[in-house]
Chains A and B, each alone.
Chain A
Amino acid sequence: MSTNDILFLAEFDAGQATRSALELAAGAAALAAQSGGEAVALAYGPGAADGAAGLGAHGAARCVVLGDERRPAVVHAPAATAVAREGALALLAPATPNGRDLAAALVGSLGLPAFGPVRAVRLVDGTLETEQATLQGAVITTSRPNEGAPSPSVVLVLANTFTPIEGGTGSAAVSTAPTDDGESGLARATIAESQPAEATVVNLEEATVIVAGGRGVGSQEGFGVLQELADVLGGAVGASRAAADAGWVPYQLQIGQTGKVVKPSLYIAVGISGAIQHRVGMQSAEHVIAINRDPDAPIGEFADLFVVGDLFGVVPALTDELRRRRGE
């Protein structure tokens, strides 16, 4: 391990590398090219052992497997700590609950500087600099580690900050972290019981188009209307907390402070008023269209296109129009 290396957390789920692992591989590879080190994956979760070498095609030079079982991610902290202790410039973690837990445990056990969630990370004259939306988006700040701060710097990275490298053919050198975590307090948490959802749930962080519905959508059936629009656009359906609380969609689809933080290229907010807690989950979207019958809804303040009208008229008409233009 060299002090110029860039570590990144690579989460596997159901036998596959998650999208965040591929994004961070690309980010780590780009930073490592500047720092003169290597991109090193810390892989965990079901499928990590078999999939580790494959991260080479996405930018990783090496991959250390922390664990392959379905366990709470944070139990891998002792193994990740052992790797980080050997020295690296930075460690990139996805700004997901699992990524944050592991990052936090590293910050705690090694006393490391922490950043994020960031929307950009770069090296300026060999020093790490991050950029983040602070105070619920009111300010954009840049940050750096203090002179003499220990490394690696731990950086939480928002989804869609980096674009995965596709079409690569490399293979990462794989090693296994020592599994001696029996002494660690963090390793004592276990999954006592699991309840899978009745239907498969889309991972919103991977969607490039999101059609999100709020209280205005009114019912589970109403969300069917949004799903049709999402299907035509090749996108996914998301929701406000009000819609998730009402039970119209599973909580996995909630966007905002206590839901997912998303960064799609197109976000269509339907029947959503635009509360600050919702906004912090979608303010990095590239293009925002709002459909709302209230001409004064706060979402109008940060939408790019604000359509005042009844969603039950506009959304089906838009779905039809898009189908028509496609010649369907």
Chain B
Amino acid sequence: MKIVVCIKQVPATGADKRYTDDLRLDRASAEAIINPLDEYAIEQALRLADDGVADVITYLTMGPESASEALRRALAMGGDDAVLVSDPGLAGSDEWVTARVLAAALDRLAPDVALMGMASDDARGSLVPGAVAAMRDVPLLSYGAELRVAGNEARVRRLSSDGFDWIAAPLPVVASLTDQVGEPRYASLKGIMAAKRKPLETWTLADLGLSAAELHGGALTRVTGARPPEAKPPAERVENVTPTEAAARIADWMAARKLI
């Protein structure tokens, strides 16, 4: 069984983030990490390997040359090899282009299970897994809080409006996972050393038989403006008072805003 984990390099959580003057994310200004939710997907792939279910684990990312760092970090956690899709035609790509490129790379890698984190820190549309599944015409098992793969079937446990469902589908599938699946492991020193020797290939759009033109120049959407959020005045503070007094002050505050 072959698993491909799609990962994304993102600015570190909580890092100072900004847009450049041409309205692109200034990736140079922040430390880069593996999107935290993707680490949960990596962990699930590695557990399937630990359990003898998965034979090969490949990491796939689309990004600038420097995104190979994220692949090395993933390889340090475990797994076999990695592919970076990098092309000047992909700078500033949107969800559709990202999905199109990942789907083309997955067509070539032909995994039984393509795993992804349920969202990325820096975009949050959560659209890539479903778009990739539609492009590859395979089932989508999304928002899995637990993943099981056995025989020719995969299933995920997913929250419903009042409980949960197990959603099942025949392989191959695309699955996206939440942070409930279990905390990701840390890379060991041995893992970090071993990762340096694991195969890492770089593919261009041409390698995937895609052209920048058919990708609409990299995006179907454009950012037309960026501004800081509305400045909020600093919080009004209530401190060093008894609970009863605090309660009266909160109630007054709510009444002044017609909240009660």
Q: How far is the CB of A293 from chain B (nearest CB, A)?
A: 10
Q: Please state if B127 and A113 are interface contacts (CB–CB under 8 Å).
A: no
Interface residues of chain B: helix, strand, loop or mixed (majority): mixed
Q: Please state if A139 and B260 are interface contacts (CB–CB under 8 Å).
A: no
Q: Please state if A185 and B253 are interface contacts (CB–CB under 8 Å).
A: no
A-contacting 9-mer, from B80-88, B188-196, B225-233: B225-233
A305-B235 contact, Cβ under 8 Å, with A101-B140, A321-B248: yes
Q: Please state if B118 and A258 are interface contacts (CB–CB under 8 Å).
A: yes
Q: How far is the CB of B31 from chain A (nearest CB, A)?
A: 14
Residues of B within 8 A of A194 (CB): 160, 163-166
From the candidates B135, B168, B236, name the one contacting A304 in the complex (CB within 8 A).
Answer: B236
Q: Please state if A139 and B232 are interface contacts (CB–CB under 8 Å).
A: no
Q: Please state if A101 and B165 are interface contacts (CB–CB under 8 Å).
A: no
Q: Please state if A150 and B130 are interface contacts (CB–CB under 8 Å).
A: no
Residues of B within 8 A of A106 (CB): 134
Residues of B within 8 A of A156 (CB): 125, 127
B257: interface (CB < 8 Å): yes
> Binary interface profile of A, 255-299, with partner B (CB < 8 Å = 1, else 0)?
001100000011000000000110010000001011000010000
Candidate in B125, B158, B173, B217 with the most chain A CB atoms within 10 angstroms:
B125
Closest to A74 in B: B140
Q: Please state if B167 and A192 are interface contacts (CB–CB under 8 Å).
A: yes
Closest to B233 in A: A304
B223: interface (CB < 8 Å): yes
A108: interface (CB < 8 Å): yes
> Binary interface profile of A, 186-203, with partner B (CB < 8 Å = 1, else 0)?
101111111111001101
A317: interface (CB < 8 Å): yes
B133: interface (CB < 8 Å): yes
From the candidates B11, B180, B246, name the one contacting A309 in the complex (CB within 8 A).
Answer: B246
8 A Cβ contacts from B11-45 to A: 11, 13-14, 16-19, 23, 25, 37
Residues of A within 8 A of B137 (CB): 184-186
Cα–Cα distance between A186 and B130 once the two chains are bound (Å): 9
8 A Cβ contacts from B98-128 to A: 99-100, 103, 118-119, 121-128
Q: Please state if B247 and A321 are interface contacts (CB–CB under 8 Å).
A: yes
Cα–Cα distance between A144 and B125 once the two chains are bound (Å): 15
Q: Please state if B138 and A146 are interface contacts (CB–CB under 8 Å).
A: no
B243: interface (CB < 8 Å): yes
| Size bracket, chain A contacts | 35 or more
Q: How far is the CB of B91 from chain A (nearest CB, A)?
A: 15
B129: interface (CB < 8 Å): yes
Closest to A308 in B: B239
Q: Please state if B226 and A104 are interface contacts (CB–CB under 8 Å).
A: no
Closest to B154 in A: A189
Q: How far is the CB of B146 from chain A (nearest CB, A)?
A: 12
Residues of A within 8 A of B140 (CB): 74, 101, 104-105, 186, 189
Q: How far is the CB of B181 from chain A (nearest CB, A)?
A: 11
Q: Please state if A141 and B19 are interface contacts (CB–CB under 8 Å).
A: yes
Q: Please state if A104 and B130 are interface contacts (CB–CB under 8 Å).
A: yes
Q: How far is the CB of B120 from chain A (nearest CB, A)?
A: 10
Closest to A150 in B: B220
B221: interface (CB < 8 Å): yes
Residues of A within 8 A of B119 (CB): 257-258
A313: interface (CB < 8 Å): yes
Q: Please state if A189 and B163 are interface contacts (CB–CB under 8 Å).
A: no
Cα–Cα distance between A306 and B235 once the two chains are bound (Å): 6
Residues of B within 8 A of A322 (CB): 251, 260
Q: Please state if B221 and A149 are interface contacts (CB–CB under 8 Å).
A: yes
Q: How far is the CB of B70 from chain A (nearest CB, A)?
A: 18
A103-B247 contact, Cβ under 8 Å, with A97-B143, A258-B118, A266-B254: no
Q: Please state if A305 and B238 are interface contacts (CB–CB under 8 Å).
A: yes
B60: interface (CB < 8 Å): no
Candidate in A108, A111, A192 with the most chain B CB atoms within 10 angstroms:
A108
Query: Could you show 16 A-B contacts with beta carbons less than 8 Å apart?
Result: A104-B127, A104-B140, A113-B221, A134-B123, A144-B224, A156-B125, A186-B133, A189-B139, A194-B160, A194-B163, A195-B164, A251-B145, A305-B238, A307-B250, A313-B246, A314-B243
Residues of B within 8 A of A (CB): 11, 13-14, 16-19, 23, 25, 37, 94-96, 99-100, 103, 118-119, 121-143, 145, 155, 158-170, 173, 178-180, 216-217, 219-230, 232, 235-244, 246-251, 253-255, 257, 259-260
Top 6 nearest A-B pairs by Cβ distance?
A104-B130, A108-B134, A108-B131, A313-B243, A113-B220, A317-B247
